[in-house]
Structure 1
Amino acid sequence: MFPILAQSLIPLSLSLLMQICTPQAEVVVLQNATVSAVFTFGDSILDTGNNNHLITLVKSNFPPYGRHFMGGKPTGRFSNGMIPSDFFARQLGIKELLPAFLDPNLQLQALIGGINFASAGAGFDPLTSELVSVIPMSTQLRLFDEYKTKLKSSIGEERADSIVANGLYIVSAGSNDIAATYLHTPTRIFNYSIPSYTELLVRSASSFLQELHIKGARRIGVFSLSPLGCTPLQRTLASGIERRCAEDDNRMAQLFNSKLSLELHRLNGAFPHAKMALVDAYGLLLDIMKNPAAYGFEISDRGCCGSGLIETGFMCSQWDFLTCSNASGHVFWDAFHPTENAYRILVQGLLGKLLVDLYS
């Protein structure tokens, strides 16, 4: 991979650049594109350890999480190893890993090249973060302001502004809003229909993205929701003894995705000097779940930790001794979050189109 030094802004040119070839995808970075840093916001898909420093049950800084991370260390990533935040930074050659902003051991030099502000359990619905005491999306934006202040004090205002303006911003939220707040608590389902709740989420997402734009973001990729009904957890809770995909949950996710796609199109018209694009994870993840062997997996309907049917977070730690020995053969690490191997395939399969959408 051509090294893109985080300390400077290097144009990614087709005449210089590598092609990342995989069985799933070929990633090509476009001519004259510049990626200075990677910044991530949202939920557990992207949180590299911010929740370690909160008083919340939504944590994963204990075994068996991190079993296949560097040195087998649990870091607060909801997987057995790396997650999409890391893979985006690594695939672009910017950093090996994307650090968490709340890490008390974070060095000023680590601020260069980007950082993670996401918080596992967060959602576009403000109530979602409140229910589990994690960092709301609005607070993640305030942390971004703190980051910019620290960066300017470290490397100067002009260079810091350039890094912020040329960063790749990745946002992932909405899964907890539907899978937890709407479907499994009485807080929203009695006051909102499925169409009206997805509208609420899209309005909140739009407000977040507009604020992020005001703060300097110009290239933003927003993850679609995955097929929530095909996660091991939703199969167990919503599909009875046969544990088939809960299609009603999937339809709700698809409804949100379609509305979000339309809103991103509208925002692109409103902000002609910025680009926002959907990271369409739904189709690829559904194909992986339904055809695991085609991607090198053996099991897609249960997680690796515990029974694989319902365990996430601290529940995985209770059944550490039952954790599978072949995580690379599983699509899911716990009952809701994919394995490092699945995340790698996901990012490899989606990054190329995202770069075309944002930089062409």
Structure 2
Amino acid sequence: MFRKKMLVLALFSIYFLSIEAVRNESFPALLAFGDSMVDTGNNNYLLTLMKGNYWPYGWNFDSKIPTGRFGNGRVFSDVVAEGLGIKRIVPAYRKLYIAPSDLKTGVSFASGGAGVDPVTSKLLRVLSPADQVKDFKGYKRKLKGVVGRSKAKKIVANSVILVSEGNNDIGITYAIHDAGMRLMTPKVYTSKLVGWNKKFIKDLYDHGARKFAVMGVIPLGCLPMSRLIFGGFFVWCNFLANTISEDYNKKLKSGIKSWRGASDFRGARFVYVDMYNSLMDVINNHRKYGFTHEKNGCCCMLTAIVPCSNPDKYVFYDFAHPSEKAYKTIAKKLVEDIKTGLA
């Protein structure tokens, strides 16, 4: 009887270990593209004012020093990679040196301030979609040198491609820069954004990417900056900005459904990552999640010249970027959505 029990226990152990191995093998790496939600320091190497490599950014990061991430610690790409069981920190591709182990498990090509509108990245002098695709091609060459052509192709095809676009296009280019210059209504603009995003994703697909986790925009009208400027000094969210954000997200989600199984995306998988409702839930129910401040940022604003003492109490770290705790809070469900949608 004892031997039978030990045999059953051993078989169960082998089964669960094999399941875990398959799970990890299904997502060998995370490759992040887009804006500051997933940029882990690429802007450090650009001639741009859009940088997060100075204090008080990085206040709660492992090394206690600024890394170029726009927040007090890790950003969404880091948190998702950890949730998927890949690794805890996703390095920026433009770092001077990337270890072979990091090439095999993923990097970030994103750039704070970037967008898919052709105007956005030029306006802020950051990496455009074309620049990020070019870096992606360079990454593939380096990866091939480490693991060989066949395995490199497999890693890219099975990696989670995390894409965050639209936040700067709507929040900066359309709201501030355009000011009607291109005579586009919000609905026309959001439709164009989805088209530009599709083109960007198609470029990544043409270079071997197959598993896409496409992030919607966050509630841009509830950012501390939006509340301060347009919403009545932190009393209300900016209704118009949120309406445009929701319209874009609705069209993006619908577009993703239509891309599945389309001839130009044959073999690709897509999942929509609902950043808007996830973060709005935290904002509306902030005390439930352990936050005491949902309207003002912890630092880097006229209303927060002296950084707060505990960023974990703030939904937003600065004028526009969630705190690490906020990212970790919303990531719990979103990581499961990614696993289910792309596994």
Distance (whole Å) between structure 1 residues aligned to residue 147 and residue 22 of structure 2: 28
Alpha carbons of structure 1 residues 156 and 78: separation in structure 2 relative to 1, 3 Å: same
Equivalent residue number for residue 317 of structure 2: 333
Question: 1:85-96 maps to which residues of 2 (within 5 A)?
Answer: 85-96=77-88
Equivalent residue number for residue 343 of structure 1: 327
Alpha carbons of structure 1 residues 288 and 215: separation in structure 2 relative to 1, 3 Å: same
Corresponding letter in the other structure for 2:311: A
Identity across aligned pairs (percent)? 38
Give 3-state SS (helix, strand or coil) of 2:90's partner. Answer: coil
Distance (whole Å) between structure 1 residues aligned to residue 31 and residue 325 of structure 2: 22
Alpha carbons of structure 1 residues 103 and 16: separation in structure 2 relative to 1, 3 Å: same
The structural deviation recorded for 1:243 is 3.2
Corresponding letter in the other structure for 2:210: R
- Where relative contact order (Cα < 8 A, 6+ residues apart) is larger, the structure is 1
Corresponding letter in the other structure for 2:46: L
- Structure 1: which 4+ aligned runs deviate by more than 3 Å? 13-19, 29-33, 186-190, 306-309
**Quick one: which of 173, 176, 195 aligns to 1:181?**
173
The structural deviation recorded for 1:30 is 9.0
Distance (whole Å) between structure 1 residues aligned to residue 18 and residue 229 of structure 2: 46
**Quick one: which of 58, 64, 72 aligns to 1:66?**
58
Question: 1:268-347 maps to which residues of 2 (within 5 A)?
Answer: 268-270=260-262, 271-307=265-301, 309=303, 319=305, 322-347=306-331
Equivalent residue number for residue 245 of structure 1: 237
Alignment coverage as a number of residue pairs: 328
Alpha carbons of structure 1 residues 31 and 157: separation in structure 2 relative to 1, 3 Å: closer
Give unmatched runs, 5+ long, in structure 1: 1-12, 20-28, 312-318
Asked whether the 8 Å contact 1:124–1:201 carries over to 2, the reply is yes
Give 3-state SS (helix, strand or coil) of 1:74's partner. Answer: coil
The structural deviation recorded for 1:118 is 0.2
Distance (whole Å) between structure 2 residues aligned to residue 121 and residue 16 of structure 1: 42
Distance (whole Å) between structure 1 residues aligned to residue 237 and residue 35 of structure 2: 23
Equivalent residue number for residue 352 of structure 1: 336
- Structure whose residues are more often helix by fraction: 2
- What's the RMSD between the two structures over aligned residues? 2.1
Question: 1:91-106 maps to which residues of 2 (within 5 A)?
Answer: 91-106=83-98
The structural deviation recorded for 1:229 is 0.4
Distance (whole Å) between structure 2 residues aligned to residue 36 and residue 51 of structure 1: 26
The structural deviation recorded for 1:190 is 4.5
**2:23 aligned with 1:15, yes or no?**
no
When Rg is computed on C-alpha atoms for both structures, the one with the higher figure is 2
Give 3-state SS (helix, strand or coil) of 1:255's partner. Answer: helix
Distance (whole Å) between structure 1 residues aligned to residue 132 and residue 233 of structure 2: 40
